[in-house]
Amino acid sequence: MGQIAGIARHSERRGPIEQLTSVRVSPEFGVEGDRNGGKQRRQVSLLEAEDWAQAMREVGGSLPWWERRANLLVEGFDLPQREGVRLRIGDDVVLEVRVEIDPCDRMEELHPGLRQALTVDWRGGAGAQVISGGTVSVGDEIRIEDA
């Protein structure tokens, strides 16, 4: 089991990133106020803290995790790398992993070599669909949902 170490959202493409301590998520809107909520396969994006740190070490960078534009930063947890795995966050929220999130050109704009460093082993993160909504807060436990 791991925990949610950070929460972020952005309401428009290339728009400002807002860091939060908690946020509502729903099957209808994904992360409340985030531009990707209507995308079925990636309503919520998750990023492993260690994956981001490793990519930063490889490129010699020191960018904060939210520059990846992910919604949830997880630590102490290895995100499943296959579609259909369900994740429970806290007591109420259930997400289903749908897709690997490929890093875009923006990552290369942020730091040379970053896009390539994030292509290894799902380091760019996982996209998930909200199955059961609720509130996600920094410090919430994240785990694989029992079948």
- Please name the amino acid found at residue 124: G
Give backbone dihedrals phi and psi of 58, rounded to 5 degrees, phi first: -65, -35
Q: Is residue 147 part of a domain?
A: no
User: Range with the lowest mean pLDDT among 35-39, 82-86, 91-95, 99-103?
Assistant: 35-39
Side-chain-side CA neighbours of residue 106 (13 Å): 12
Q: What span, in angstroms and rounded, lies between the C-alpha atoms of 102 and 57?
A: 19
Give backbone dihedrals phi and psi of 125, rounded to 5 degrees, phi first: 110, 180
For residue 48, the model assigns a pLDDT of 97
Q: Is residue 43 part of a domain?
A: yes
Q: Is residue 76 part of a domain?
A: yes
Q: Is residue 143 part of a domain?
A: no
Q: Is residue 145 part of a domain?
A: no
For residue 139, the model assigns a pLDDT of 98
Closest CA to 71 of 89, 53, 91: 89
CB 115 within 8 A of CB 104: yes
Q: Is residue 101 part of a domain?
A: yes
Express each pLDDT in 28-82 by its tens digit: 999 999 998 877 778 999 999 999 999 999 999 999 999 999 999 999 999 999 9
- Cα angle 15, 16, 17 (rounded to 5 degrees) comes to 120
Q: How many domains, in total, are found in the chain? A: 1
For the chain, give the percent of residues with pLDDT over 90: 85
For residue 14, the model assigns a pLDDT of 79
Residue 147 has pLDDT above 80, yes or no: no
- Outline where 36-95 has alpha helix (H): 49-59
Q: What span, in angstroms and rounded, lies between the C-alpha atoms of 126 and 86?
A: 12
Q: Is residue 146 part of a domain?
A: no
Domain span including residue 40: 2-138
CATH of the domain at 13: 2.40.33.20
Q: What span, in angstroms and rounded, lies between the C-alpha atoms of 143 and 78?
A: 9
Residue 145 has what DSSP assignment?
P
Closest CA to 118 of 77, 42, 65: 65
